[in-house]
Amino acid sequence: MKLPAAEPEEGPVIVTTADLFRVAYGRFAVGAYNINNMEQTLGLFRGHVEAEAPFIIQISKGARKYAGIPMLEGMIRAAETMFPEAIFAVHLDHGDEQTCYECIDSGFYSSVMIDASHAPFDENVAITRRVVERAHAKGLSVEAEMGMLGGVEEDIKVDEKHALLTDPEEARLFVEQSGCDSLAVAIGTSHGAYKFSGNQGLHFDRIAAIQQQLPGCPLVMHGSSSVPQEEVARINAAGGKLDPSAKGVNEDEFARAVPLGVTKVNIDTDGRLVWTRVQREYLRDHPADFDFRKPGALLITEYAAFIVNKSRKLLSAGTLADLRGALA
C-alpha cells in the first residue's frame, strides 16, 4: 500500500496491484483505464462504485505531460475522498526506465510498467531486472512487455507486419530472468481504433500456451478496446470522420480470457470514443451553447455508464465486498 487510506474504517482504498491480482487471477480481470482529466476521473470512480468493481488507474507519460504530475495526483486524491468505497491501484502505463524510477520514488504509485519491448530479449531482461530491483525494494510490483503489439504505443511505432505473438517458452524465460510480476503479452491486439480486419480476434490458443508456461502469472492484455461500431457510427453522424471499418476486441471474449490468466485489461481508446461522441453530439445539438459544464456533466454520466458495462464484461462487477474481505 503506497498511500494512506482516506477512510480507514471503510477498508483499503488504494491497494497494491499485487493484492488485486492475487484476488482476481482466474476469477475476473481488473480493468485498467488511462486518465487525463477531471471528467474522466469522476466518471471512472462513479462507474466503478456503481458496478462495485475494483480498478487500476493508468497514467501514461503523455498524461503526465498533458495534465501535469501534481494535477493527476491531486485529482486522484480528491476522487479518493469523494468515493471512499472505491478500491483501486495506481499504475504507470508504458514507462521508460527513467519514468519508472521517478514513479517508484514518488511514493504515489502501486506499480509501474517498464516497456522495453522494442529492445532485444537480453536487453529487455536487463532493463526490466533493474526496474524490478528498485520497485520491489519499495513494495511496488512491475509489469513488463514481451513480444510486439501492432500499432502505436506512445512514441514507439511498430510496423504492423512485424507484429509478433508472444512466444510462450520465451515468456517463461523472460519472467524467470527479469523477476517481473506480470507480463503484457502480444496475443493479437494492438493499440488504437483499428485493430482487426475481417474475422481476426484474440489468439486463445496462444494465451493458453503462455499460461501453461507461466501458471499463476497475471497476464496483461493491452489494446483491449472494443471500438463499438455504434459509437463510431454516432461519431460520424455528428461530423466525425473515423474509418467505419474500425474494429476492436469483442468484449464478450474477456470472459474466455480470464480463466487463461488474463488478469489486467487495458482500455483507453473506448473512453476517448465516449468523449468524442458526447462532445460532437452536444455541440451539434446545441449550437448556441457555450457552457462547457453541460457536455462535461454528460461526459461524466456517459463515462460512468461505459465503465459499468465494461466491469460486467470483465466479470469484475460485484466483487468489491469479497475483495474487501480478502484484503482485510
Q: Which residues bind ligand G3H (CB under 6 A)?
A: 34, 60, 62-63, 93-94, 153-154, 191, 268
Nearest distance from C-beta of residue 115 to ligand 13P, angstroms:
9
- What is d(CA 299, CA 185) in angstroms, rounded to the nearest whole number? 32
Contact 59, 99 (CB under 8 A): no
CA distances (Å), origin 325, targets 12, 83, 180, 232, 270: 10, 19, 27, 40, 31
Compare residues 52 and 93 and give the one whose CB is closer to ligand G3H: 93
Contact call for residue 46 and Zn ion (CB under 5 A): no
C-alpha distances (whole Å) from 172 to each of 48, 146, 180, 188, 262 are 33, 10, 11, 19, 15
Q: Are 88 and 54 in contact (CB under 8 A)?
A: yes
Nearer to ligand G3H, 180 or 267 (CB): 267
Cell numbers given for 301: 454520466
Q: Are 76 and 55 in contact (CB under 8 A)?
A: no
In three-state secondary structure terms, 96 is: coil
One of 62, 84, 179, 192 touching ligand 13P (CB under 6 A): 192
Cα–Cα distance for residue pair 113/117, rounded to 1 Å: 11
Identify residues 32-91 at the interface with ligand 13P (CB under 6 A).
34
264/280 with CB nearer ligand 13P: 264
The span of 13-21, 66-74, 98-106, 264-272 binding ligand 13P (CB under 6 A) equals 264-272
State the amino acid at position 212 in one-letter form. Answer: Q
With residue 301 as reference, give the H or E element that holds it.
helix 293-313
Shortest separation between residue 72's beta carbon and ligand G3H, angstroms: 11
Which is the catalytic residue, given 93, 96, 268, 270? Answer: 93
Q: Does 311 bind ligand 13P (CB under 6 A)?
A: no
Q: Are 129 and 152 in contact (CB under 8 A)?
A: no
* Separation between Cα atoms, residue 177 and residue 35, nearest integer Å: 32
Provide the minimum distance between the beta carbon of 93 and ligand 13P in the complex, in angstroms, as a whole number: 5
Q: Distance (Å, rounded) from C-alpha 210 to C-alpha 202?
A: 13
Q: Which does 117 bind (CB under 5 to 8 A by kind): ligand G3H, Zn ion, ligand 13P, none?
A: none
Q: How far apart are CA 121 and CA 137, in angstroms?
A: 24
Nearer Cβ to ligand 13P, position 41 or 225?
A: 225
| Minimum distance, C-beta of residue 315 to ligand G3H, in the bound complex (Å) | 23
Q: Is 222 in the site for Zn ion (CB under 5 A)?
A: yes
Binding segment for ligand 13P (CB under 6 A), chosen from 72-80, 140-148, 211-219, 266-274, is: 266-274
Query: Is residue 93 flagged as an active site residue?
Result: yes
Answer with the entry of ligand G3H, ligand 13P, Zn ion, none that 39 interacts with (C-beta below 5 to 8 A by kind): none
Build a one-symbol-per-residue string for 197-226: x at contacts with ligand 13P by CB under 6 A, - elsewhere. Answer: -------------------------xxxx-
User: Can you point out the beta strands (E) in the chain?
Assistant: 30-34, 55-60, 88-95, 111-114, 141-146, 151-153, 156-158, 182-185, 219-221, 262-267
Query: Of 138-146, 197-205, 217-225, 275-283, which part binds Zn ion (CB under 5 A)?
Result: 217-225
Residues that bind Zn ion (CB under 5 A): 222, 266
- Report, as residue numbers or ranges, the catalytic residues: 93
Residues that bind ligand 13P (CB under 6 A): 34, 93-94, 191-192, 222-225, 266-270
